[in-house]
Chain A
Amino acid sequence: MSDLAIEFRDVSLTRPNGARALDHFSLNVQAGEVLALVGRSGAGKTTVIKLVNRLLDADAGAVLVEGRDTREWDPIALRRRVGYVLQEIGLFPHMTVAGNVAVVPALERWTPERTAARVRELLDLVGLAPQQYAARWPDELSGGQRQRVGVARALAADPPVLLMDEPFGALDPMTRAELRAEFRAIQQKLRKTVIIVTHDMAEAFALGDRVGVIGDGRLVACDTPAALAASPDPRVRTLLDA
């Protein structure tokens, strides 16, 4: 069995409004695997990934990243080892494409040469020709192009872990299919530990090495797509048949 990259141990979390987001949730993510988390909206998927980079803290239980409890990590250092791609993308509108990709290198005080080289490399990786796109502004890009920049920004400092929250949710079906294919190609090269959240079972099956099903704040099932497809569990079946 390969290294454990992320470990959820019996995690519970109550939302500020009193609702239970996670209820004794446990999950292991192996280094270098893509784990797709799927569930209905409000099932607690986003909560799970925000616990990894400590945008949220658990009420009970523990979240471990690289074997260390996240509460022992310096949150800033932790977040720079964990790339995060938001559904809304969240590109900074006052920065160019290159400026957005270079945010973390700037925080890490890289030299301008190193930063520029890394920006070119990443834009090439996500399929945006640097000489054409580096100087553009976010509002000059299509939705798919923006999401590519979001991925490039999350990967800038080469973090071992990548969290993706409905990364392709706001895109049209054509673009979504295209980006999924590219994501798989990139992941072949980079072998990051990835948690990807989606409400779309087909997407989870297409992208995940394993697929975790969340229902009512608990992990209902977690297995390879093939095994899951054969599962007799009714909670899995309702999602699959939906």
Chain B
Amino acid sequence: MRSLFSFWIAHRVELASLLGQHVLLVAGSTMAAVAMAVPLGIFAARRPRLAAPLTALANIVQTVPSLAMFGFLLPVPFIGGVGARAALIVLILYGLLPIIRTTIAGLQGIDPTLREAGVALGMTPRQLLRMVELPLALPSIVAGVRVAAVVGVGSATIAAAIGAGGLGEYIYRGLSMVDTTVILAGAVPAALLALVVDALLLWMERQLSARRRPASRRGAVTAVAVVTLLALMTSAAAARRARGAIVVGSKNFTEQLVLGELVAQSLEREGLPVDRRLNLGGTLICDRALLTGDIDVYVEYTGTALTAVFHQPIAMDSGGVFNTVRDLYARTGRTLLPPLGFNNTFAILVRGSDARARGLKTIDDAARESAHWRAGFGYEFVERPDGYTGLAKAYGMRFPEAPHVMDLTLSYRALAAGQVDMIAGDATAGLIKGLDLVQLDDNRKYFPPYDAAAVARAETLLRYPAARRALERLSGRVSPDAMRAMNYAADVEHRDVGAIVREFLDK
């Protein structure tokens, strides 16, 4: 608990900005959803045959898991992609259903006598709507808005996956660092925000369903206006800084956060304005974002680019892969910068005690032990073309039982605890150092190269020559040991990524 408060205090400016972004996302999407759903609901309430299909459609949208929705929208032009715009679209779609439904219910629940009284008094349909139907349906509509807003606070945390900011950033950052404090730093304010929004709108709903005296109506409007204004103010600073800045992206695991921060700080040291969109999810999201210009630069691995981005067959030669990938990027308006200096390939890992006792240095050495060993692998390694099956064949491994399939992060701990004797980890994982594990040499050159290198939009580098200089200066600067040490500092020591990178650059 103490560490949570000290985290908030240390990150108070960032926290305020993320909270502001979160409130803006929810307020903006909810207001837009109201603007669309209320007219739709009015329209549908008058045509009962339309009400059912419209509600069904909105229902279907609601059942799509939000992460999947972000995935669907990713490749859609104009509304898709990454960033706040795509997040707003998704949140609006989610907000529509409850508001449409309660608008229809509110209008259909009006006593027909009141409608007849209005008509008989000489109201036009429009006057009837404004003076009678909407005021009477308002409490019901506000109840729908309340549901939409509270659900929106939750869904907005997932928006961080596509770089829309908000409190979800802490949650994702914490998940990838396996750091509960950081997860809570985002989750607790998000939960509090949901409670506050719920209470505020419940209060509004009560004000509206009780007899409306003008003063309280004004109070409700004022409350909404104040909240929106506060959100605008808190996020205004961040927004102003973002305009015209170089947008740095990263994928959603610790090393990528460190590398994103490394790129960002290197650019800042050249006096360039930087907007961080770290933690963007997987390879495809980052690639898509770079292509559309939502981000300007991120760090990719050559082997990943070759297979996952460009769908080319695996190749083993490090220099050849780099050249192929560089040419493929160049054809799509992107520039691959020189490698940073480390290869994040798969690492076959054993316990340090075993390695020293039996003199294990290469994977060949391990293959000889495999007859009485148990192996544990992550899901991905079991599936990949360059994964377990090929490895066993290349080295003639023969385990007495099938490898245990487990979560990658857990497999390091399982190895250290002696539950398995060999795993396939990341070569740069900080846990290798933290848990006294030893990486065996790939003496038969089985694993393809995964050299880390920044990839940037060519037009950004043309516009900012200083950015190209800063990125080229990183060439060869990050040794495998340095990367491992930084990952260790972040993953095991839970140190602030910004500070880790600052120390590294100062060295």
Contacts and interface: CB of A to CB of B under 8 A. Distances in A.
B233 to A, nearest CB: 35
B353 interface: no
Contact of A107 (B116, B127, B212): B127
Contacts of A70: none
A52 to B, nearest CB: 10
B279 to A, nearest CB: 48
A153 interface: yes
A154 B116 CA distance: 13
A1 interface: no
A88 B211 contact: no
Contacts of A94: 135-136, 211-212
Contact of A76 (B113, B122, B211): B122
B386 to A, nearest CB: 69
B123 A107 contact: yes
A60 interface: no
B114 interface: yes
A78 to B, nearest CB: 8
A233 B123 CA distance: 43
Contacts of A107: 121-123, 127
B472 to A, nearest CB: 69
A79 B113 contact: no
Q: Interface extent on A, as a size class?
A: 20 to 34
Contacts, number: 54
Interface in B339-353: none
A86 B211 contact: no
Contacts of A91: 117
Contacts of B116: 55, 86, 90
A84 B122 CA distance: 10
B211 A79 contact: no
B132 A84 contact: no
A104 B121 contact: yes
Contacts of A76: 122-124
A79 B124 contact: no
Interface in B93-122: 111, 113-114, 116-122
Contacts of A77: 122
A187 B456 CA distance: 88
A103 B131 contact: yes
Interface in A104-161: 104, 106-107, 137, 153-154
Contact of B122 (A80, A90, A93): A80
A198 interface: no
Contacts of B121: 79-80, 84, 103-104, 107, 153-154
A90 B117 contact: yes
Given A92-B132, A94-B212, A137-B211, A104 B122 contact: yes
B120 to A, nearest CB: 4
15 contacts: A55-B116, A76-B123, A76-B124, A79-B120, A86-B113, A86-B120, A90-B113, A91-B117, A93-B136, A94-B136, A107-B121, A107-B122, A107-B123, A107-B127, A137-B211
